Amino acid sequence: MRQTFPDVGRIPFGGGPPGSVPDAEGRRESTLALLESAAAVVRDGVVDSLLESAAVGIAACDRELRFTHWNRFLAELTGLASPEVVGRGVLEVFPRLVPAGLEALRRALAGEAAVAHDTEYALPRTGRRGWVSAQYLPLRGADGEVAGVVGVVADVTERKRAEEESRRLAAFSRENPNPVLECDRAGRVTYANPATGHHLAEVGCELEGFLPAGHDHLVRTALATGQVLRTIEVVVDDRIFSWTYHPHPPLGVVHLFADDITARRAVEEQLRHDALHDALTGLPNRYLFMERLARSVLHEKRRERYLFAVLFLDLDRFKVVNDGLGHHVGDELLIAVAARLRGCVRETDTVARFGGDEFAVLLDDIGSVEVALRAAERLQHELTAPVALSGYEVFTSASIGIALSSEAYGRPEYLLRNADMAMYRAKGAGGARYEIFDRAMHALALTRLQMETDLRRGVDRGEFTLHYQPIVSLRTGRIAGAEALLRWQHPERGWIAPVDFVSTAEETGLILLLGRGVIRHACEQLQAWRRTAPRAVGMHVSVNLSVKQFSQADLVEQVRGALADTGEDPRLLRLEVTESVIVENVEAAASTLGRLKALGVQVYMDDFGTGYSSLSSLHRLPLDALKVDRSFVARLGVEPEAAQLVRTVATLAHNLELAVIAEGVETAAQLEELRALGCEFAQGFFFSPPLDPERMRALLEEDPCW
């Protein structure tokens, strides 16, 4: 630690004990006057109530040092009553009278006045210890000769104790590395220990900037109340002190002790900082952001035409970097992004990290909406430049949602929610863009919320049924199977198609509940048809599995359970999964598919060609068929390349010994082309739309051939 207070040395702790010096002379004079009047009283033989009621001890003795007077004060102080003392010798009563006392008595007998001495005593009866100060005066008879001695005794225990305490304090103070001061009643400094150093030019000076504000008042209050007072912080140079005022009313002084709390404050400051900032990037965290946001919202209420914006920012594909290149590269990317964001906005704006790859920006006092839009563009532009990280060059982009204070309705959390909502919209539109929150978006969110409620109720009330779309064998031209497709009979809105509810069902997890039912129902339906339609024998049924369902730990168990409970032949059940199930983890997907296949069921890759191209990992997956997405089928006969593409997929599938199923066949021409390209199966409106179970049964009975 830096030596802030060099030893000044030249400031002593007063001439004598602190506090006693200024009063000593005055006290001696008044005592002398008292002593003289006491002597007069005794000499005149007027031992009356005056002497008895004195607030000091008054005693007298004759030339032989035998007590002739002993007043009440002394009786109370010593516990010795007047009759026990008067008539007895001084040394008889006080056998252990100190030599100084004896000497003083002798000098008084010799005619010398006002000889004082302080004596520490221990009373024989009470055992009380204390201090008295005794002063003597010769007592002269009518002839002028010394006839005895009159003594005045004061109880100075309190003062002695205070002085003793001061002496000890002085010793400690000299060694104290923290500043220690003594002040008199007026607040003037009468002592300063070496640690106060250059702040004190000389004792009694004003110590400007060193003493706490309201110092005089503190001194007075401490002395008046006898209470120890503590100040809040006083900053001196770059250090922070807290002062304690210890009053000593008997001495009329106050001792001030300074606590150097600089280090403690630094620790507290650090803790506070850590609590409000993100450890990785050093940016403010959500708490601090919300605090500032709340402040801006308050500000907005008070000021006309004050506009600010919240940007919610989420990196696109951060997961790919983090999982693919490792967490340390992910961390580096976040740090780099944080720095770029910070560099893009004004000093007065707040850039915060909310955790993960989520950031928020508070653009304060923007004047117009355009400023927020330009800022979003700037942020986006900054982020598109490649980031060099541990030998990798990483490209990143962000989806940004913007919410304006004018839509805040006075609530910071609404603003954040709005920005978040807009961000999701930007992400949903493909990322690397920004969206501004508007009320329509809010309405949409409300609709989603309503949808969620309705979905739950629908599941409870059994409003969901399955429709079936025939899958036709292009070899025989006959129905080979059917795909089960969910339908929702909403009590107010009528039939609702899966596009309108499957994503919400996935987000809320309700798809898991729905999905279980679908597998079971499809198996039961197959058995029902077999009982009524001969054509249904050997027919298979396809069920769609969402990614959420696919990653359930007990999926295989669920399928096994459904098969066991319904007694359905596993070979007739087909599960359709999309390419998205393998995006996360090819090995895990392959393992799950393998276990499903081990049950005897077949697995199809649905919507092939639309997802993350999995051509390279296709051979690692134990599949039975590829379903060519209907977008390719729709282009057949329109774009020449479409046929080439379907041919490539078919060739690839056949090489891997997979069957090819074409989806969305709507025309005879498409059917012909697909046949020519070697597709095994097809489905689509050309054959039949999805049908309810009864109409499907009728179609099976009809046994059409294409």
The site partner of 119 among Ca ion, ligand C2E, none (C-beta below 5 to 8 Å per kind) is: none
Take residue 297 and report the two structure tokens written for it: 């919202």
Take residue 15 and report the two structure tokens written for it: 């001439």
Does residue 518 belong to the site contacting ligand C2E (CB under 6 A)?
A: yes
Q: How many angstroms separate the CA atoms of 75 and 57, rounded?
A: 8
CB of 412 to ligand C2E, least distance (A): 38
Piece of 3-11, 130-138, 374-382, 603-611 that binds Ca ion (CB under 5 A) = 603-611
CB of 546 to Ca ion, least distance (A): 11
Q: How many angstroms separate the CA atoms of 404 and 308, rounded?
A: 6
The site partner of 152 among Ca ion, ligand C2E, none (C-beta below 5 to 8 Å per kind) is: none
Cα 236-240-246 angle, rounded to 5 deg? 95
Does residue 606 belong to the site contacting ligand C2E (CB under 6 A)?
A: yes
The count of chain residues that interact with ligand C2E, using the rule CB under 6 A, is 25
CB of 293 to ligand C2E, least distance (A): 39
Piece of 15-23, 70-78, 609-617, 662-670 that binds ligand C2E (CB under 6 A) = 662-670
CB of 606 to ligand C2E, least distance (A): 5
Question: Could you give the C-alpha distances from 105 to 71, 77, 95, 130, 305, in angstroms and in order?
Answer: 18, 20, 14, 21, 94
Q: In what order do the strands lie in the sheet with 129-140?
A: 67-70, 57-62, 146-155, 129-140, 115-122
Pair 682, 661: CB distance under 8 Å = yes
CB of 282 to ligand C2E, least distance (A): 44
Spell out the long-range contacts of 182-186 with Cβ–Cβ below 8 A and sequence spacing 24 or more. Answer: 182/13, 182/18, 182/253, 182/254, 182/255, 182/256, 183/215, 183/219, 183/253, 183/254, 183/256, 184/252, 184/253, 185/219, 185/220, 185/223, 185/252, 185/253, 186/216, 186/219
The site partner of 458 among Ca ion, ligand C2E, none (C-beta below 5 to 8 Å per kind) is: none
Q: Looking only at residues 635 through 674 of this chain, which bind Ca ion when binding is defined by CB under 5 A?
A: 663
Pair 116, 105: CB distance under 8 Å = no
Pair 385, 370: CB distance under 8 Å = no
- Sketch the per residue contact string, 478 through 517, with ligand C2E: x for CB under 6 A, - otherwise: -------xx----------xxx--x--------x---x--
225 vs 631 by CB, closer to Ca ion: 631
CB of 486 to Ca ion, least distance (A): 11
Q: How many angstroms separate the CA atoms of 247 and 249, rounded?
A: 6
Listed residue (84, 80, 89, 154) closest to 123, CA to CA: 80
CB of 632 to Ca ion, least distance (A): 11
Binding-site member from 81, 355, 685, 703 for ligand C2E (CB under 6 A):
685
Q: How many angstroms separate the CA atoms of 221 and 345, rounded?
A: 52
Do strands 625-628 and 602-608 pair parallel, antiparallel, or not at all (unpaired)?
parallel
Q: How many angstroms separate the CA atoms of 276 and 614, rounded?
A: 44
Q: How many angstroms separate the CA atoms of 189 and 184, rounded?
A: 7
330 vs 515 by CB, closer to ligand C2E: 515
300 vs 576 by CB, closer to ligand C2E: 576
CB of 687 to ligand C2E, least distance (A): 8
Q: Looking only at residues 368 through 407 of this chain, which bind ligand C2E when binding is defined by CB under 6 A?
A: none
Piece of 111-119, 274-282, 518-526, 602-610 that binds Ca ion (CB under 5 A) = 602-610
Binding-site member from 17, 179, 690, 693 for ligand C2E (CB under 6 A):
690
The site partner of 499 among ligand C2E, Ca ion, none (C-beta below 5 to 8 Å per kind) is: ligand C2E
Q: Looking only at residues 50 through 79 of this chain, which bind Ca ion when binding is defined by CB under 5 A?
A: none
Q: How many angstroms separate the CA atoms of 156 and 230, rounded?
A: 30
Piece of 187-195, 216-224, 539-547, 583-591 that binds ligand C2E (CB under 6 A) = 539-547
Does residue 607 belong to the site contacting ligand C2E (CB under 6 A)?
A: yes
List, in sequence order, the alpha helices (H) in 366-493.
369-384, 412-428, 439-461
Q: Looking only at residues 535 through 574 of this chain, which bind Ca ion when binding is defined by CB under 5 A?
A: 544
Residues that bind Ca ion (CB under 5 A): 544, 576, 606-607, 663
Residues that bind ligand C2E (CB under 6 A): 469, 485-486, 497-499, 502, 511, 515, 518, 544-546, 576, 606-607, 630, 663-666, 683-685, 690
